[in-house]
A and B are shown apart, each in its own frame.
Chain A
Amino acid sequence: SQTIHQWPATLVQPVGSPLSLECTVEGTSNPNLYWYRQAAGRGLQLLFYSVGIGQISSEVPQNLSASRPQDRQFILSSKKLLLSDSSFYLCASVVGTGGPLPSYEQYFGPGTRLTVT
């Protein structure tokens, strides 16, 4: 089974500072990778997804960007953080299950709690 790592677990950053959150996946190859954001008491907002190295699709235009330099590494970045970026950031990995009815299973990393001050 796959394991998803995220770091850091928590982060406090001042407004206007840069951001880099990292996600790595073990136990699978060529996963589809996702970045979600979850404000307190809210649902999951999809930010970016990637189907392969260097392939990034953005769901919501904002001051964040993502990169996938390796098959099992996904990075979320920002050049200048906003107060509204304070949130719980989740990385997720999706793998196909194959079989007579192909489908996909998604698992989440432990998350990074970001507070922008």
Chain B
Amino acid sequence: GENVEQHPSTLSVQEGDSAVIKCTYSDSASNYFPWYKQELGKRPQLIIDIRSNVGEKKDQRIAVTLNKTAKHFSLHITETQPEDSAVYFCAATDSWGKFQFGAGTQVVVTP
């Protein structure tokens, strides 16, 4: 089955700096890679996703890149703000459509 590894587990950045979270996956048949943001006590919310026929996708201050050959994908947050502080999870779906999540990254943005 699919295995997703996520790094780093914690990330502290100063407000205005960029944050990058990286994930690797094992199943070359995976074709959908979402990123979720989870604030304390809340449900994970989908913030951006990328499909395997695209190498990069951007939505305002967040972007995701995908390298299918190397089987890794990354989340980039630019001009970080205090409200970006949360836990971020990456995921990959295998050919069945079952989601495998990374372990999560705690992002702390300090003013």
Contacts and interface: CB of A to CB of B under 8 A. Distances in A.
Given A44-B89, A107-B46, A109-B43, A101 B52 contact: yes
Nearest to A113: B41
Contacts of B32: 103-105
Interface of A: 32, 34, 42-44, 46, 49, 90, 92, 94, 96, 100-111, 113
Contacts of A94: 97, 99
B25 interface: no
Interface residues of B, number: 24
B33 to A, nearest CB: 9
B51 interface: yes
Contacts of B34: 105-106
B101 to A, nearest CB: 5
Contacts of B44: 44, 90, 108
Given A42-B104, A106-B46, 6 more contacts: A90-B43, A103-B93, A104-B32, A105-B49, A108-B43, A113-B41
A43 B103 CA distance: 5
